[in-house]
Amino acid sequence: MSQMMKPVMLIAGAALAVMSLSASARTETSTAAAETRQVSAPAQVTTSSAFPQKATVGGRAVQLNGAGTRFRAVFQVYRAALYTEKPVQQYGELSNAGEAKRIHMVMLREVNANELGGMFVRGIQENLDKASAAKLMPAMLRMSALFNEYKKLEAGDQVLLDWIPGKGTVVTVKGSIAGESIPEAQFYQSLAGIWLGPTPADWKLRDAMLGVKATTDTANRN
């Protein structure tokens, strides 16, 4: 081999080595990024899968308190779960504004989003006296308006109703935060009352979310 060819081959060999190391580094970086995305991806709840046992609300850990299915006549409308920082079995135990809470809903059939927002307002009113309802009317109207941009919710779509201490009620629809937070603590308590209050939308669902056995009285109400 000529003396002139040796430097050329050495340079070529070095270039190949650098290219190989660069490709290996890119592969490792891509793999690490993919693993990070996989680990950080939130748990997805489908129409048939179970709700996760744990969740995070505003950076605070909450646990599944109970879950059930909302029926209208013989039709399944949505599944709902209650998450709290500590187990609760009564509606009044949710009144601590210093603790994070979540109501997680998964649609089981197509629902008109505007009607759902309206049902939330009516459900709140049914569990309040007139004076309290009048006081919370501005918050209820903001809540109803959050759903105006959504024409409908389809089977599998999810709604999160979170109480974040120091911030307020945060509504997430189909993975996106809807509107601004609602700061009044009484509003979230009244919102939770739709499912868990003295006049719940579904008595069996109330008992399921509170993690208590249905009594003969409540079992016969729906």
Q: What is the DSSP letter of 204?
A: H
Q: What is the pLDDT of residues 20-33, one digit of tens each?
A: 434 443 443 343 33
- What is residue 28's predicted lDDT score, i.e. its pLDDT? 39
Tokens of 169: 């009620």
Cβ-Cβ contacts under 8 Å for 193 (sequence gap 6 or more): 91, 123, 124, 127, 128, 199, 200
pTM value is 0.75
Tokens of 140: 């209820």
* Residue 79 exposed, middle or buried by CB count within 10 Å (0-12, 13-18, 19+): buried
Q: What is the pLDDT of residues 118-133, one digit of tens each?
A: 888 888 988 888 899 9
Q: At residue 152, what is the residue type? A: K
- What is residue 95's predicted lDDT score, i.e. its pLDDT? 94
**177 by DSSP, 3-state: which?**
strand
Q: Helices 137-146 and 113-126, interaxial angle, to 10°?
A: 160
